Every structure is written in C-alpha cells, then in structure tokens.
C-alpha cells in the first residue's frame, strides 16, 4: 500500500516538474522573443545634439541652445553632484542590471491598490532609455520595452557612462536639457561648480520640473531641495554639518547671461500644446517651429525694457521682474521679452485697474447704463463694511464716466458695478476670455481683485479684442510646425469672431484715449498718436505688488508688467503711470517712428453730439443743449440708441415788479446757462437796465430812478429772444396815492390831487 502511494506521489511530482519545465521554457522563449524584439539604437542614445529648431518670421535661426545639450564629463563633476541624483532617483544604481526588481514589485502593489499606473519604479537607466528613445505614454508594453533596452544598455556601457549620458540628457524645466545647461539657466555657472545646495535643488526638480522648479514654484522647490539633502545625509553622502547648511540656505537664482530666448521658450510651449506632445518628443522628432517673431522689434523691446528696469533697480535698490509683449491686432505675437529669473509663461497675477474697462465699464456701455458724459458722484461709500478709497485719497465730487475711467477712480467704478450687477460683469469677462471664480462675484471685482488673478496673456488678448473693435482673434507665437523632412504638420490660420458690438468697443476705446492724453497714462501724450491705454497697480493690503500699462492702437497692442516675484512687493515710489508706461511709450515711439497709425474707425451708429452740461451735473440726465451758450455745451460720442434726449424747457420768463417807496423791485428766476437783458421803456425810449448771466435762482433788481416818470414799462428777454410779459407801472400815481393814504391815516383834513403835471 505504501509502495503504491509512493509511486503515485512520484508520478504527481514528475508531472509538476514537467509543467514547471515547460513554463520555464515558455518564459525563456517569451523573454528571448521580447529581448530580441527591441533593438538598442546606440547612435541615437549617444547623439545628444538635437536641439529644438525655432525660426523667426524673417527665417533667422533662433534654435534654443539650452535644448541643444551641452556635454559635461562625469569626471569633472563633484561626488556630491552625482550622489544627489543617485540617492534621490536610484539608490541601487551601481548594483542592479538596469532594473530594480524590489522597486518594480513595490510599485506594482501600489498601482494595484490605487488602480493606476502612477508608480513607475524607473531606475536611472530606465529614465535614460525613456527620455532618449521612447515616448512618455504609460503602458505596460512600453515599460517592458524600457526594461529590455535598459538591460541591453547596461551590457554596452559602464555605470559611469550611463550616469554621464543620463545627466547630459535629463530635462530640468525652463527648456533646459542636461545638467550643464540647467546649471547655466538656473545659476549661471558650469555644473562642475555647483554647490551642494544647488545640486540638491537640481536633483529635486527632475521628478516634476513644473512643480518643483524654483522659477515657477519657489516654496515647493525649497522643500524638495531639503528633502534631497535629507536623503543624501541618510545615505551617508554628506555630513550632518553639510546637511544643516543646505537646510538653512535659500535658492539663489542668477540670470543666464547669454542671448535671450524667452520668445522661443514660449513658442515651444505653445507648439507642445498644439501637437499634444512633450518637449522631449518635440526634440526627438526633430520638428522645426516657425514663429511670428520680429527679430528687430524683439531686440528693440529688450533694449527698452532693460534700460528702464536697470534704471529702476539702481534707483530703488531692488530686484525686478518684468514682461513686455507686442502683438499685431490679428493676434500674431511679434515680440515677447521676459526679463526675469522665473518662468513667466503661466504667469497669473492680480490685474488691478486694468480689469475695470472689461468688468465694469464695458457692461455698463453695452446695457446703456452709462455714456461717456454721465456724471457719477465720487464720494465716501460704505457697502456693508466695504469702503474703498481712490488712489489719491481724494473725493472728486461729480465726475463724468470719461474722467472716472481715464483717471482710474475707484469709487465710481464700484458704484457702476453695483448698478450694472455682478452677473452682467461676469458674463462680459467670460466673453473676453477671462474666467473668474464664483467667490470673485463681489464688489472687489470693480478694483480688479480676484482670488486667483488672471493669466497675463489672457489680459492682453482681451485688450486686443477691444483694439479690433470687438473681434476676438486670440494671440499666437507659432506660424507653422514642420517635420524633419520639411512637411507642414501644423499651420496657423487667421481667425476672428465678432464677440462685442463695435459701437460699444469704440466708446471704451475713445475714453481710454483720454487716459493717454490727460489721465493715468498721460506720458504717452507727447507721442501725438491715436493710442488708448490703461494702467493698473495691484495692492496686497500693505504694498504695491504689480504694475501694468496696456497700450493699443488700431494696429498693435502691447502690455508691460513689472513686479518682484521673490518678495511680492515693490517700492512705494514705483508707479504704473511711470515705469511700465515709459517702457510702452518707447516701444510705441519705435513702432511709429516713420508712420502714424490710423485712428479707431467710428461706426455709423455712434454719433458725436452736444449735450447740456448743467443738466448732466445738476439733474444727472443727458439732454440736448437747453441754451446756446457755448460754455454750457459739451460734445461727446453717443450710441444711436443711447444719445442725449430732447426735453422741453419752459420759455416763460416769470418777471414781476413791485413798487415801494424805494423804487421798483424787479425779480425773476434765472438759469445759469442763459443770458438775460432787462429793459425799461420810458417816453417811448428803450433803456437797457441790466444784463444778467452766469446766475441761477431768483434775481432781485431795484430801480430807484422811477418817481419822476408817469409811466414805465419793464420786460425781460433771454438769448433765445424769449420775451417776458411786459409790466407797466405808474410811479407818480403810486407816489400820490401813497401820500394821500398817509394823510388819511394821520387824519389830516387835506389831501393832494393826483392829476398834476
């Protein structure tokens, strides 16, 4: 019996052994097939000089040289630089054969639990293969290919050679590929001169260049840098003192001194969005980007911006960030200069008063709530504790809408927003392409205060819509994208859509022309150009943080922004009416040195009409002139469906004359915008008694030279030849009657006859 059981057990074991052998054989065959399926392209792996080709509109080659990787030999790097990357990215780099089984199992468990593919467990070797040879797609087949090629690479190259290729290939953000370029872009030095603190910063940001870049997320970068230092200390790569030094050290960015490529960086960012690919794929596919960049204008904008910023930095002993953009009104970006250590392509800041024309005055004009001539009382206000002030801390009394906008007064803006309503304001901003949060729907919107601010390029695009009389075009860097054979894979198409009525836009544009003549942007007035402009100063409750000037003509729109991103405050003496306006003034001066742009074309349904200034100010209504006195008549632009109304003014002149012993007491009610002449007729002779002008209310006049006349006739005439009722008096009769009454009252027995001459 035991013998039979033993034979049966042996038979089962034999079957299991055969199955295992078959499984191992199948696995071996599968692995062999997979291994042989993928070939390692050594030439592509080692050929690192494939920078992104970017061309200006004139065909000038502006290839981004920081994408054309500079090679640095591994031997020249300090040990702590190499260890920073190994300790944070791949602790077992020198012991594995291209993949780390422990990390793969751990990542697989995490992905299984989370039902995702977020954990990749890539070694340095795998990252190199992915970045140099593969796409960024997260699939298991690509992961298998990545592992196979990593194993093959480990057989072809030494660990130091792999690490060298890795450090010369990896992406560090800000269009910097390779550690040498990254060192120059962030710290303006060679990688061999990096400090431990700087090495930790660079090693930390490659996990997510956007999230951990000191240019875009300084606080995140600082935390990540310190985490890398902790990892190095725990691995024994740095001492405790070195670790503590890193923890107490800030990240000091230094501007790269080579030729500016901020335009090209933006063009690459836009190209990636257009094609829905990564920058690495853009490089590997050797695409060429043709842009709208005007090289001559770009160089001029750089000179103008640098000159003013350097002057201000020296004057106020501060560091400044600035951005100057020029677009033509078809939306083509001709010049883009980011004068900053930070990446500004996703810059989102408080728009301040630059939002007023878009969020307040445009909806008021659209809905016929305001005209440029409408008076608004600039006074102290309080809306449930919200009591803003004007920038000059002054209340100006009744001011026109034109004055309020061109001088960027806050209180009229708040009043106008409260009247037009928050929903209409939000809808108008949406049409301009500016999306705001639900929490932004409060009266702070009138001052340009938003929870998350706005993208600077969205703000510029909105003003381009105004410049185009309501046609939205969007703004673009990229004209065409070509593959390496020269085939067009993307081509920009001019696009426009009439978002706003041209009548409303013309009214806003004309009011903003006043800003450049007499308002907050009056520095532009000396140019003698038809240019509209708006300034803006953002305030964080303690200090100014952002300065803007946006200027536009019928042909170009430009925006200059200035801030200090590191400290988030500016010297109090810096003003939006000065520094950014001066930069835009000089750009305009260059653009129109030989030509003058045409003025904004007046639509047929906008009329230049007179209105009565007294009625506007005193009775708060816009009416046609009620007199012909020039000083009480003003002209402005009005939409045909919201022009001054005709009103009937009573022409009755309420003249009255009362006699007493002093003479004839004459009275009438005067209006300030009318001239009056008071006449008396004696013995058929007309005498001008008095001329009255610039007076309002009841006018009293005494004519004491009357008692020698039998009859006098008084009448009043205004400048429109309206004549009052003629009032006749008989002074001698009045005098005789008065004497007789006096005798009667004194009980005298005699009286004076009234008919003597």
- Which pLDDT does position 752 carry in this prediction? 45
Q: How many helices (H) and strands (E) does the chain have?
A: 25, 24
Residue 757's pLDDT band (cuts 50, 70, 90): very low
C-alpha 720, offset from chain centre: 53
Q: What is the mean pLDDT of residues 47-66?
A: 72
CB 64 within 8 A of CB 282: no
Residues of the chain with pLDDT > 70, as a percent, come to: 87
Give the span between the Cα atoms of 82 and 75, in whole angstroms.
Answer: 10
Is the torsion defined by CA of 705, 711, 716, 720 positive or negative?
Answer: negative
**Residue 680 DSSP label:** E
Q: What is the mean pLDDT of residues 579-593?
A: 97
Give the span between the Cα atoms of 183 and 256, in whole angstroms.
Answer: 9
Residue 484's pLDDT band (cuts 50, 70, 90): confident
Task: Dump pLDDT digits (tens) for 76-96.
Answer: 999 999 999 999 998 888 888
**Residue 359 DSSP label:** I
Instruction: Tell the residue number behind the tokens 């009548």, with chain if given.
Output: 503
Q: What is the mean pLDDT of residues 113-118?
A: 48
Task: Dump pLDDT digits (tens) for 317-343.
Answer: 999 999 999 999 999 999 999 998 777
- Which pLDDT does position 39 carry in this prediction? 67
Instruction: Report helix, strand or coil for 153.
Output: helix
Q: Which range, 64-68, 164-168, 220-224, 462-466, has the best average confidence (pLDDT)?
A: 462-466
Task: Dump pLDDT digits (tens) for 161-211.
Answer: 889 988 988 888 777 888 988 898 889 899 999 999 999 999 999 888 878
640 or 4, higher pLDDT: 640
Instruction: Tell the residue number behind the tokens 């960030």, with chain if given.
Output: 321
Mean pLDDT, the chain, rounded, equals: 87
Q: What is the mean pLDDT of residues 231-244?
A: 94
**Which of 469, 451, 448 shows the shortest CA–CA distance to 459?**
448
- Which pLDDT does position 26 carry in this prediction? 55
110 or 630, higher pLDDT: 630
Q: What is the mean pLDDT of residues 397-410?
A: 96
pTM for the model:
0.76
Give the span between the Cα atoms of 204 and 213, in whole angstroms.
Answer: 9
Give the span between the Cα atoms of 106 and 277, in whole angstroms.
Answer: 29
Give the span between the Cα atoms of 369 and 95, in whole angstroms.
Answer: 76
Residue 563's pLDDT band (cuts 50, 70, 90): very high
Residue 31 has pLDDT above 60, yes or no: no
**Long-range CB contacts (< 8 A, 24+ apart) of 575-579?**
575/537, 575/547, 576/352, 576/353, 576/520, 576/535, 576/536, 576/537, 576/547, 576/548, 576/549, 577/520, 577/521, 577/522, 577/523, 577/535, 577/549, 578/523, 579/308, 579/312, 579/547
CB 126 within 8 A of CB 99: yes
CA distances from 260 to 321, 579, 677, 696 (A): 14, 21, 74, 66
Residue 118 has pLDDT above 50, yes or no: no
Q: What is the mean pLDDT of residues 215-222?
A: 86
Beta strands in 175-286 (DSSP E): none
**Which of 690, 692, 679, 661 shows the shortest CA–CA distance to 725?**
679
Q: Which of 256-260, 524-528, 533-537 is the least confident region? A: 256-260
CB 57 within 8 A of CB 327: no
Give the span between the Cα atoms of 151 and 139, in whole angstroms.
Answer: 19
CA distances from 714 to 56, 477, 666, 718 (A): 84, 79, 9, 14
Cβ-based burial of 597 (10 A; exposed 0-12, middle 13-18, buried ≥19): middle
Domains with residue ranges and CATH for the chain: 66-257 (1.10.3810.10), 606-639 (no CATH), 656-743 (2.60.40)
Residue 49 has pLDDT above 60, yes or no: no
Residue 107 has pLDDT above 80, yes or no: no
**Which run of H or of E encompasses 717?**
strand 712-718
Q: What is the mean pLDDT of residues 123-138?
A: 77
**Residue 450 DSSP label:** -
Instruction: Report helix, strand or coil for 718.
Output: strand
Task: Dump pLDDT digits (tens) for 306-323.
Answer: 999 999 999 999 999 999
C-alpha 49, offset from chain centre: 37
Residue 682 has pLDDT above 60, yes or no: yes
Give the span between the Cα atoms of 568 and 453, in whole angstroms.
Answer: 14
Tokens standing for residue 378: 């600039």
Cβ-based burial of 387 (10 A; exposed 0-12, middle 13-18, buried ≥19): exposed
Q: Which of 126-130, 183-187, 636-640, 664-668 is the least confident region? A: 126-130
Question: What is the chain's alpha carbon radius of gyration, rounded to the nearest angstrom?
Answer: 41
Give the span between the Cα atoms of 247 and 225, in whole angstroms.
Answer: 8
């Amino acid at each position: 019996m035991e013998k039979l059981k033993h034979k049966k057990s042996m038979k089962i074991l034999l079957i299991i052994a055969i199955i295992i052998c078959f499984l191992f054989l199948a696995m071996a065959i599968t692995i062999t097939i997979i291994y042989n399926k993928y070939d390692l392209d050594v030439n592509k792996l080692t050929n690192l000089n494939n920078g992104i080709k970017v061309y200006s509109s004139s065909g000038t080659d502006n290839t981004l040289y920081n994408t054309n990787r500079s090679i640095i030999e591994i031997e020249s790097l300090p040990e702590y630089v190499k260890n920073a990357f190994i300790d944070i990215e791949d602790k077992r780099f020198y012991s594995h054969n291209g993949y780390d089984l422990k990390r793969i199992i751990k990542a697989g468990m995490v992905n299984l639990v989370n039902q995702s593919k977020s954990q990749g467990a890539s070694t340095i070797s795998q990252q190199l293969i992915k970045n140099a040879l593969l796409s960024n797609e997260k699939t298991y087949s690509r992961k298998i290919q990545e592992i196979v090629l990593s194993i093959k690479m480990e057989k072809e190259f030494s660990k130091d050679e792999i690490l060298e290729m890795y450090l010369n290939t990896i992406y560090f953000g800000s269009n910097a590929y390779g550690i040498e370029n990254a060192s120059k872009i962030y710290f303006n030095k060679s990688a061999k001169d990096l400090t431990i603190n700087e090495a930790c910063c660079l090693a930390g940001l490659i996990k997510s260049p956007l999230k951990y870049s000191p240019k875009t997320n300084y606080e995140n970068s600082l935390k990540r840098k310190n985490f890398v230092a902790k990892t190095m200390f725990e691995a024994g790569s740095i001492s405790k003192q070195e670790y503590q030094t890193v923890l107490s050290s800030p990240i000091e960015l230094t501007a790269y001194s080579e030729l500016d490529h901020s335009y090209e960086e933006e063009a690459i960012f836009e190209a990636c969005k257009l094609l829905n690919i990564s920058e690495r794929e853009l490089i590997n596919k050797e695409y060429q980007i043709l842009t709208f960049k005007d090289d001559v204008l770009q160089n001029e904008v750089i000179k103008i911006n640098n000159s003013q910023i350097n002057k201000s930095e020296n004057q106020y002993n501060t560091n400044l960030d600035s951005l100057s953009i020029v677009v033509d009104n078809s939306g083509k970006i001709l010049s883009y200069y980011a004068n900053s250590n930070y990446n500004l392509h996703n810059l989102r800041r408080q728009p301040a008063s630059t939002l007023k024309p878009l969020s307040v005055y445009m909806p008021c004009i659209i809905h016929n709530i305001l005209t440029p001539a409408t008076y608004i009382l600039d006074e102290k206000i309080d809306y449930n504790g919200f009591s803003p002030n004007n920038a000059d801390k002054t209340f100006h009394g009744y001011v026109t809408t034109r004055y309020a906008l061109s001088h960027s007064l806050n209180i009229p803006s708040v009043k106008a927003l409260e009247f037009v309503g928050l929903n209409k304001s939000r809808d108008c901003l949406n049409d301009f392409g500016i999306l705001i949060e639900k929490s932004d729907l409060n009266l702070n919107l009138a001052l340009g205060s938003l929870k998350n601010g706005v993208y600077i390029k969205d703000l510029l695009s909105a003003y381009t819509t105004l410049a185009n009389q309501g046609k939205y075009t969007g703004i673009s860097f990229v004209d065409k994208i070509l593959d390496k054979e020269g085939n067009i894979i993307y081509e920009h198409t001019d696009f426009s859509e009439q978002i706003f009525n041209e009548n409303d836009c013309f009214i806003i544009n004309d009011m903003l022309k006043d800003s450049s003549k007499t308002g907050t942007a009056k520095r532009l007035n000396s140019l003698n150009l038809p240019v509209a402009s708006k300034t803006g100063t953002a305030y964080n409750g303690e200090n100014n943080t952002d300065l803007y000037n946006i200027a536009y003509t019928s042909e170009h729109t430009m925006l200059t922004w200035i801030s200090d991103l590191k400290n988030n405050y500016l010297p109090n003496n810096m003003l939006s009416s000065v520094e950014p306006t001066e930069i835009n003034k000089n750009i305009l001066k260059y653009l129109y040195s030989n030509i003058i742009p045409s003025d904004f074309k007046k639509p047929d349904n906008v009329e230049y009409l007179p209105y009565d200034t007294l009625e506007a100010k005193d009775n708060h209504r816009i009416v046609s002139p009620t007199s012909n006195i020039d000083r009480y008549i003003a002209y402005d632009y009005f939409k045909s469906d919201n022009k001054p109304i005709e009103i009937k003014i009573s022409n009755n002149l309420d003249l009255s004359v009362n006699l007493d012993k002093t003479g004839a007491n004459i009275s009438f009610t005067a209006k300030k915008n009318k001239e009056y002449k008071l006449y008396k007729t004696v013995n058929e002779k007309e005498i001008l008694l008095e001329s009255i002008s610039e007076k309002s209310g009841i006018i009293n006049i005494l004519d004491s030279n009357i008692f020698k006349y039998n009859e006098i006739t008084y009448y009043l005439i205004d400048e429109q030849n309206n004549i009052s009722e003629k009032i006749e008096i008989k002074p001698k009769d009045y005098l005789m009657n008065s004497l007789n009454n006096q005798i009667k009252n004194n009980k005298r027995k005699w009286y004076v006859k009234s008919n003597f001459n």
